[in-house]
């Protein structure tokens, strides 16, 4: 199947097929593990015997789950989805009604979440509600550890958190919590915890 501009547009992805291919390749390069030819052969006889006693023979066990359902494939797919649905600096500037230089300043100040898979910044779409930023997200983003992967950051914002429970006992995701206008402080604290744990 060939990826066409029409197919990408139908999926809500506003990049050219060439740019889409570039972003997917960048995602695979970012997430794919280093290839290991045969790690079991690098073990000493005693190390291999200890593993066999534990129920694993490193010479016959799979090196990594890299097939369609493996973690490397899932990670690359999620990262590619983040990149291909992200916005350019120019698109963000238009949405926010500011100059592109202001967008880059906010990226460097970490009040906008962006990824740089090559020479240009891509701003992750999750932080926007229609044509504006999710309320308070600019106060939460700087609390996240800069070493966290894009997949971790996006998943954290979208997953219900035990730290964000409403009066009915329902856990909300950080994005839903902020979008509803609930207090920012518990989201910011949870973001700092993620940085410590991550």
For residue range 58-104, list pLDDT tens digits in order.
555 544 445 555 666 677 778 888 888 899 999 999 999 999 999 99
Backbone angles phi, psi at 143, to 5 degrees: -80, -15
For residue 120, what are its two tokens? Answer: 């240009």
The HSE-up count of residue 191 (CA atoms within 13 Å, CB side) is: 24
Beta strands (DSSP E) in 28-178 are 87-88, 114-115, 122-123, 128-129, 132-133, 161-165, 171-172
Q: In what helix (H) or strand (E) does residue 160 lie, and over which residues does it extend? A: none
Q: What does the pLDDT average to over 123-151?
A: 92
User: How far is Cα 84 from Cα 28, in angstroms, rounded to an integer?
Assistant: 13
Whether the pTM exceeds 0.85: the reply is: no
CA distances from 20 to 9, 11, 15, 100, 181 (A): 11, 12, 6, 22, 35
Q: What does the pLDDT average to over 125-138?
A: 92
User: Does position 35 have pLDDT exceeding 50, yes or no?
Assistant: no
User: Does position 173 have pLDDT exceeding 50, yes or no?
Assistant: yes
């Amino acid at each position: 199947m060939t990826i066409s501009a029409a197919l990408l547009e139908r999926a809500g992805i506003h990049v050219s097929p060439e740019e889409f291919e570039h972003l997917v390749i960048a995602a695979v390069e970012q997430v794919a593990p280093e290839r290991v030819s045969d790690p079991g052969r690098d073990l000493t006889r005693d190390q291999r015997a200890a593993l066999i006693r534990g129920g694993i023979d490193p010479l016959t066990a799979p090196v990594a789950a890299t097939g369609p359902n493996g973690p490397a494939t899932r990670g690359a797919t999620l990262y590619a989805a983040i990149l291909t649905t992200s916005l350019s600096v120019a698109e963000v500037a238009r949405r926010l009604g500011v100059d592109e230089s202001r967008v880059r300043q906010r990226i460097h100040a970490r009040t906008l979440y962006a990824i740089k898979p090559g020479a240009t910044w891509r701003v992750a779409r999750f932080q926007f509600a229609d044509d504006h930023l999710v309320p308070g997200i600019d106060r939460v983003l700087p609390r996240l550890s800069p070493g966290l992967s894009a997949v971790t950051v996006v998943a954290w914002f979208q997953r219900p958190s035990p730290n964000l429970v409403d009066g009915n006992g329902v856990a909300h995701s950080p994005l839903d919590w902020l979008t509803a206008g609930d207090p920012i402080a518990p989201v910011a604290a949870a973001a700092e915890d993620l940085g410590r744990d991550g």
